[in-house]
């Protein structure tokens, strides 16, 4: 027991006005789905939150038809300036309903309220504000005069940042003049459904954004729909591969934002206290359910023991528990399946000879939980150094020279992100230049900004989201 015990500080759920049942949001209205409805539950205590409709192929057809009508009749005829006004309105409504959205997100996803409140929802608003600004400036974006929208965008997103991934997809698509059919992940549909109410409040013309809930089959129906012009997917590399196959040979444009196994490289001259915070933020933020998480710590051999000791001390102070408590640092794992995967890979890590250390925290009786965990003595060939665990598990490897650090960092099928910690700017630039990763942070980690492009190499996918590059994927004539 520590000296400083925190009194419970739960965020009130009363700001959230949930319906018992949610339909599909098609053509500006909620309507029943013809697939079998499913429950969305709280991963923190497994309690039922709401019943959600599942979209069948026929429902996806209706959503795509609504998006096509809206594209032909309203959205593609509207000036960029007017489209921008809608996006500004959505951004402001997200800010107005920020607390409610944060509670919905933490309830459904399991992430700590301080993250959904201070990171996810503000970034959602920022994304809409940013792309609202682009809507009337497409002529000046560098793609020539009068760049044209693609038409109907079919978008499928994962459960780790449900509303933020929606914003990353919807905001640039609308700014560029496309209409949208989007599917949130089956374990986290709630914030997208609250967002549908925001679209109604914003008086967005019916059919411009359609939100269909359901599992993989619903996503597959969107991807293969013949009247979809553009597919944007964020999720696992396995599903991304299937989608690439389904889209191959069609005129559809495709962007894939997939998995990662980022190296966070700490040199002996790094500011160690900041690096420890950066390592913790890199892998324990959002329970490690982060595609660009710094899940492989590459630490210079001379400081390995010191860094590991400090990390253990720091992790012992993290508070695991109720996601709605404002003092919580580590929330719940999003689903029983994900917990199973984290446990399985951790077991394999032990079997392969790595040394496991887990923070000694009380695990709640109900719900899905995994303590912050570090593996040392990890070899580059170990599964825990190669596979994406997507949980609060850090694999620690060592290096002696910058060349060895670069070689080890690039020794992965992925290439989404990386971190470099050093006092020397010249070293940071030299190393960054040789890393095969789409995003590289220096003396920080997990920083996001709507003006900055994000995306990967190799099995982390292709295409960029964010910034001017993010518009490219939604405009004709421009490479995806």
| Catalytic-residue membership of 291 | yes
Radius of gyration for the chain, computed over Cα atoms and rounded to the nearest angstrom? 22
Tokens of 97: 């309903």
Q: Which residue has the tokens 């001259």?
A: 269
Q: Which residue of 44, 243, 266, 330 would you call a contact of ligand NAD, by CB under 6 A?
A: 243
Tokens of 356: 């496991």
Contacts with ligand NAD, 146-175, as mask; x by CB under 6 A = ----------xxxxx---------------
Question: CA dist 199 to 50, 192, 396, Å?
Answer: 20, 10, 45
Q: How many residues bind ligand NAD (CB under 6 A)?
A: 30
Please, which residue, 390 or 445, has the CB nearer to ligand NAD?
A: 390
Please, which residue, 185 or 397, has the CB nearer to ligand NAD?
A: 185
| Catalytic-residue membership of 292 | no
CA distance 465 to 87: 17
Please, which residue, 67 or 223, has the CB nearer to ligand NAD?
A: 223
Instruction: Indicate which residue of 257, 388, 459, 465 is catalytic.
Output: 257
| 462 part of the interface to ligand NAD, by CB under 6 A | no
CA atoms within a 13 Å half-sphere pointing along the CA-CB vector of 343: 10
Dmax (CA) for the chain in angstroms is 65
Q: Which residue has the tokens 């595609």?
A: 291
Question: Which window, 82-90, 237-245, 348-356, 402-410, contacts ligand NAD (CB under 6 A)?
Answer: 237-245
For 76-162, strand residue ranges (E) read 152-156
| 259 part of the interface to ligand NAD, by CB under 6 A | yes
Q: Which residue of 53, 54, 199, 416 would you call a contact of ligand NAD, by CB under 6 A?
A: 416
Contact of 205 with 68, CB cutoff 8 Å:
no
Please, which residue, 80 or 216, has the CB nearer to ligand NAD?
A: 216
Q: Which residue of 219, 392, 450, 470 would you call a contact of ligand NAD, by CB under 6 A?
A: 219
- Spatial strand order in the sheet of 439-442: 355-358, 373-376, 393-399, 296-300, 263-266, 417-421, 439-442
Nearest approach in angstroms of CB 369 to ligand NAD is 18
Residue with the CB atom nearest ligand NAD in the bound state: 219
Question: Which window, 3-11, 118-126, 366-374, 455-463, contacts ligand NAD (CB under 6 A)?
Answer: 455-463
CA distance 21 to 188: 14
Q: Which residue of 185, 199, 263, 471 would you call a contact of ligand NAD, by CB under 6 A?
A: 185
Three-state DSSP state, 341: helix
| 267 part of the interface to ligand NAD, by CB under 6 A | no
- Would you list the DSSP string of 210-260? EE---SHHHHHHHHH-TT--EEEEES-HHHHHHHHHHHTTSS-EEEEE---
Nearest approach in angstroms of CB 156 to ligand NAD is 5
Q: 64 — phi, psi (to 5°)?
A: -65, -40
Three-state DSSP state, 97: coil
Please, which residue, 80 or 122, has the CB nearer to ligand NAD?
A: 122
Instruction: Indicate which residue of 291, 292, 388, 459 is catalytic.
Output: 291
Question: Which window, 8-16, 102-110, 400-408, 453-461, contacts ligand NAD (CB under 6 A)?
Answer: 453-461
CA distance 53 to 210: 14
Closest CA to 160 of 292, 334, 282: 334
Q: Which residue of 90, 152, 258, 303 would you call a contact of ligand NAD, by CB under 6 A?
A: 258
The residues annotated as belonging to the active site are 257, 291
- Applying CB under 6 A, the residues found at the interface with ligand NAD are 156-160, 183, 185-186, 215-216, 219-220, 223, 234-236, 239, 242-243, 257-260, 291, 388, 390, 416, 456, 460-461
């Amino acid at each position: 027991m520590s000296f400083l015990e925190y009194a419970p500080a739960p965020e009130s759920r009363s700001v959230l006005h949930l319906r018992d049942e949610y339909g599909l949001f098609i053509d500006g209205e909620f309507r029943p789905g013809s697939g079998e409805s499913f429950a969305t539950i709280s991963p923190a205590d497994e309690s039922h939150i709401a019943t959600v409709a599942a979209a069948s192929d026929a429902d996806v057809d209706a959503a795509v038809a609504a998006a096509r009508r809206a594209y032909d009749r309203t959205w593609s005829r509207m000036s960029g300036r007017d489209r921008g006004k809608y996006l500004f309105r959505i951004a402001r409504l997200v800010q107005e309903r920020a607390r409610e959205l944060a509670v919905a997100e933490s309830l459904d996803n399991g992430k700590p309220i301080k993250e959904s409140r201070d990171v996810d929802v503000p970034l959602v608003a920022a994304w809409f504000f940013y792309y609202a600004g682009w809507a009337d400036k497409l002529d000046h974006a560098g793609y020539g005069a009068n760049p044209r929208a693609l038409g109907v965008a079919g978008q499928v997103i994962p459960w780790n940042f449900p509303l933020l991934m929606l914003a990353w997809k919807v905001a640039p698509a609308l700014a560029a003049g496309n209409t949208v059919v989007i599917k949130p992940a089956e374990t986290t549909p709630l914030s997208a459904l609250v967002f549908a109410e925001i679209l109604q409040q914003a008086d967005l013309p019916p059919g411009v954004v359609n939100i269909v809930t359901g599992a993989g089959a619903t996503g597959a129906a969107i991807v293969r729909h013949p009247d979809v012009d553009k597919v944007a997917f964020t999720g696992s590399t396995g599903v991304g591969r299937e989608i690439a196959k389904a889209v191959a040979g069609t005129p559809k444009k495709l962007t894939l934002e997939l998995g990662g196994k980022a190296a966070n490289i700490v040199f002996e001259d790094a500011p160690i206290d900041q690096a420890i915070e950066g390592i913790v933020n890199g892998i324990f933020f959002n329970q490690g359910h982060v595609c660009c998480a710094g899940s492989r710590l590459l630490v210079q051999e001379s400081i390995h023991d010191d860094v590991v000791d400090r990390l253990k001390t720091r992790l012992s102070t993290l508070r695991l528990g109720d996601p709605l408590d404002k003092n919580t640092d580590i929330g719940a794992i999003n689903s029983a399946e994900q917990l199973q995967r984290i446990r399985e890979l951790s077991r394999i890590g032990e079997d392969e000879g790595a040394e496991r250390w887990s923070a000694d925290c009380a695990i709640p009786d109900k719900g899905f939980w995994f303590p912050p965990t570090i593996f040392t003595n990890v070899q580059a060939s170990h599964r825990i150094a190669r596979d994406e665990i997507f949980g609060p598990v850090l694999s620690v490897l060592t290096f002696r020279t910058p060349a060895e650090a670069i070689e080890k960092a690039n020794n992965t099928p992925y290439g989404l992100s990386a971190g470099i910690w050093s006092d020397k700017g010249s070293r940071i630039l030299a190393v960054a230049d040789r890393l095969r990763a789409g995003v590289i942070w220096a003396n920080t980690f997990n920083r996001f900004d709507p003006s900055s492009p994000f995306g990967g190499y190799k099995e982390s996918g292709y295409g960029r989201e964010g910034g001017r590059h993010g518009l490219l994927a939604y405009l004709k004539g421009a490479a995806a």
